[in-house]
């Protein structure tokens, strides 16, 4: 293409989609025409990817970053403050596992791959690097200019699909590193901070900590696991004891093991330890301290 009568300006905006320092404005009288006689024109790469273990180096970039990685997992759509919605995606390259957050319509329209054995590769363009001070972790945040793709026909995708990356590595290993306890979170917060701010921060930290990974269970692998406990044994472990079982357990005790004012010795001898009250004890009823209680029929 050949253009004429256009304007060129120096880029002054942060987070521009390319690394170039200039941008072109097409005016109302700009002319564009197709040309065929130019050969060996340099090919522009559609993406400029960064490695996932270099996020710290790119946090202050004035241009937006492109990332690529094997898709590992994703959350359900969630609503945050201000009525906005987002969704977290985890991707992995040969260097690290990182969380990518999609927003708005992009998050709503996202469809997670169902067959991870095909090693789906996720590409996100025009993103920024975020840093969460409380967890000391870096993540990727999509912008309105961002787009995402699966399994593009580009060398970086082919490399990841053919790589020997350990897909058994726990995808949330990175989230367990350097986590703060509640006291550490409070100590690290500004002394003038409002209690509601601290509360929100604690809730956010622990929601992230215990969020479900929604892992898919490999049923074929589970079928190879030997059965060591039968179903009836599981049932017997949680069922309530019947009256006869309670009586048998109590009367198996040494009647002289607790002599004195608790009258256990006498009750054992005359057979008054049984009944509904005994069973209720096993159902979570509290036995008052320092109280003599006759459990009768």
Are 267 and 275 in contact, with CB atoms under 8 Å apart?
Answer: no
- Name the band, by pLDDT with cuts 50, 70 and 90, for residue 297: very low
- Name residues whose C-beta falls within 8 Å of residue 12's C-beta, 6 or more positions apart in sequence: none
Residue range 222-264, pLDDT digits in tens: 565 667 778 888 888 878 777 777 778 777 777 666 555 544 4
Condensed to tens digits (0 to 9), the pLDDT of residues 101-116 reads 999 999 999 999 988 8
Measure the CA–CA gap between 189 and 133, rounded to whole angstroms.
Answer: 10
Distance CA 70, CA 51 (A): 12
Per-residue pLDDT, averaged over 140-154, amounts to 92
Please list, in sequence order, all residues whose beta carbon lies within 8 angstroms of the beta carbon of residue 259, skipping any fewer than 6 positions away. 265
> Domain 52-180, what fold?
OB fold (Dihydrolipoamide Acetyltransferase, E2P) (2.40.50)
Residue boundaries of the structural domains of the chain: 52-180, 226-297
| DSSP conformational letter for 67 | E
Backbone angles phi, psi at 167, to 5 degrees: -80, -5
Q: How confident is the model at residue 180 (pLDDT cuts 50, 70, 90)?
A: very low
pTM for the predicted model, two decimal places? 0.49
Please give the span between the terminal C-alpha atoms of the chain, in angstroms, as a whole number. 99
Band of residue 6 on the pLDDT scale cut at 50, 70, 90: low
């Amino acid at each position: 293409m050949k253009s004429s009568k256009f304007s060129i300006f120096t880029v002054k905006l942060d987070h521009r989609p390319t690394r170039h320092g200039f941008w072109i404005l097409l005016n109302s009288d700009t002319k564009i025409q197709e040309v065929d006689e130019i050969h060996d024109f340099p090919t522009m790469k559609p993406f400029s990817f960064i490695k996932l273990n270099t996020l710290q180096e790119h946090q202050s970039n004035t241009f937006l970053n492109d990332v690529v990685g094997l898709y590992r997992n994703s959350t359900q759509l969630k609503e945050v403050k201000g009525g906005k919605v987002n969704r977290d995606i985890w991707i992995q390259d040969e260097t690290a596992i990182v969380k990518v957050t999609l927003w708005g319509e992009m998050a709503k329209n996202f469809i997670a791959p169902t067959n991870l054995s095909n090693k789906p590769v996720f590409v996100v363009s025009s993103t920024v690097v975020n840093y969460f001070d409380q967890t000391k972790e870096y993540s990727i945040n999509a912008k309105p200019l961002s787009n995402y793709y699966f399994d593009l026909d580009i060398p970086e995708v082919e490399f990841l699909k053919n790589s020997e990356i350990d897909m058994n590595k726990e995808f949330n290993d990175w989230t367990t590193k350097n986590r703060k306890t509640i006291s550490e979170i409070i100590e690290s917060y500004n002394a003038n901070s409002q209690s509601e701010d601290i509360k929100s921060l604690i809730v956010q930290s622990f929601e992230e900590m215990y969020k479900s990974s929604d892992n898919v269970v490999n049923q074929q692998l589970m079928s190879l696991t030997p059965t060591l406990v039968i179903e009836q044994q599981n049932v017997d472990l949680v069922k309530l004891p019947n009256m006869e079982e309670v009586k048998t357990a109590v009367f198996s005790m040494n009647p002289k093991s607790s002599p004195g004012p608790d009258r256990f010795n006498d009750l054992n001898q005359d057979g008054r330890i049984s009944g509904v009250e005994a069973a209720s004890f096993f159902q979570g009823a509290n036995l008052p301290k320092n109280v003599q209680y006759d459990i009768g029929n």
